[in-house]
Amino acid sequence: MANSRNLSIKGKIGTHLFLLIFSVFAIYPILRVVSISLRPGNRLLSRSLSLIPPNATWDSYIRLFTREPFLQWMGNSLFISLIVMFVGVALAATAGYAFSRYKFRGRNSSMLAIITTQMFPVTMLLLPLFIVLIALHLYDSYVGLIIAYSATALPFTIWQMKGYYDTIPYSLEEAAMIDGASPAYSFYKIILPLALPALVITALFAFMTAWSEYLVAAVLLQDTRLFTLPLGLKRFQANMEVAWGLYSAGAVLVSIPVVVLFMFLSRWLISGLTLGSVKG
């Protein structure tokens, strides 16, 4: 719940001040990216500090839509990222719940095993992963990517969900079950809604994992019709000659769906945990 004590004027000013300072820190480099995208002629560096370059032009953006299949890339990325998001939420919400509420053999070791998947440097996993996915006929298809991305997003999201469930008192389920509800019912109808903030984070994280991933997609996808945004954007590079304008324009546009998604989901980042009744 929001800390709803009334802040003094001093408190309010202080809060706004710090938030502003960090916001400027956060946004300044991004404004520079925007200014590169508006700069004519593909230049990365310039001695001027000004953010709107002279002769600013929308050329790069126009080129992105008319001469490159930007929309197709965006569609592909959206498709994959949304699926990964749903898969991620479904699997993490349930797995996290199991880890939080149940006792079963292999519980502790599975929890540890899950995060060990993150400990190995990715670059060494690429070749064997590639071999596995080829053997499963998942090369150059979305299924392979979705599986790989889900596997990447799951460790954090499962732990995150479990951690959040741990803050919800078990007494709630007990009360429900005394009233005759089944375990599944108490999970879906009672606990899950209370875990909304964590679900939001899981959804966002899973989406981001798929949305901005490059390495695995570059190795797995060959058919240009399947290309995701990061792959498409990187094509603007030519060793030692980067189409910076196009690339920056692409980067700006790529960020927009994430921000939109975040704004959409963040309303559920505030939850109501009404604990009037049950105290442990």
Check: CB of residue 250 under 8 Å from CB of residue 232: yes
Alpha helices in 179-243 (DSSP H): 183-185, 192-194, 196-211, 215-220, 229-234
Burial class of residue 131 in the structure, from the number of CB atoms within 10 Å of its CB (0-12 exposed, 13-18 middle, 19+ buried): exposed
Chain positions 34 to 63 lying near another protein, rule: CB under 8 A, are 36, 41-47, 49
Residues 149, 121: Cα–Cα separation, whole Å: 16
Q: Does 124 bind another protein (CB under 8 A)?
A: yes
Which stretch in 52-60, 69-77, 219-227 sits in contact with another protein by CB under 8 A?
219-227
Burial class of residue 12 in the structure, from the number of CB atoms within 10 Å of its CB (0-12 exposed, 13-18 middle, 19+ buried): exposed
Give least dist CB 9 to another protein, A. Answer: 12
Give least dist CB 261 to another protein, A. Answer: 9
Chain positions 245 to 264 lying near another protein, rule: CB under 8 A, are 247-248, 251-252, 254-255, 258-259, 262-263
Give least dist CB 152 to another protein, A. Answer: 8
Residues 244, 61: Cα–Cα separation, whole Å: 12
Count of residues that interact with another protein, criterion CB under 8 A: 148
Task: Give the bridge partners for 241, in sequence order.
Answer: 238
Pull the structure tokens for residue 75.
Answer: 């569609």
Question: Which residue among 75, 127, 193, 264 contacts another protein (CB under 8 A)?
Answer: 127
Q: Does 18 bind another protein (CB under 8 A)?
A: yes
Chain positions 82 to 121 lying near another protein, rule: CB under 8 A, are 83, 91-92, 94-95, 97-105, 107-108, 110-121
Q: Does 7 bind another protein (CB under 8 A)?
A: yes
Chain positions 142 to 201 lying near another protein, rule: CB under 8 A, are 142-144, 146-148, 150-152, 154-156, 158-160, 162-164, 166-168, 170-171, 174, 177-178, 182-184, 197-198, 200-201
Give least dist CB 93 to another protein, A. Answer: 9
Q: Does 71 bind another protein (CB under 8 A)?
A: no
Pull the structure tokens for residue 61.
Answer: 């953006």
Phi-psi region of 41 (alpha: psi -120 to 50; beta: other; left: phi over 0): left
Question: Which residue among 61, 70, 73, 236 contacts another protein (CB under 8 A)?
Answer: 236
Which stretch in 52-60, 69-77, 270-278 sits in contact with another protein by CB under 8 A?
270-278
Residue 112 Cα distances to 118, 122, 207, 273, angstroms = 11, 19, 24, 30
Residues 152, 92: Cα–Cα separation, whole Å: 12
Give least dist CB 66 to another protein, A. Answer: 14
| Residue with smaller CB distance to another protein, 71 or 204 | 204
Q: Within 13 Å of residue 116, how many CA atoms lie on the same side as its CB?
A: 6
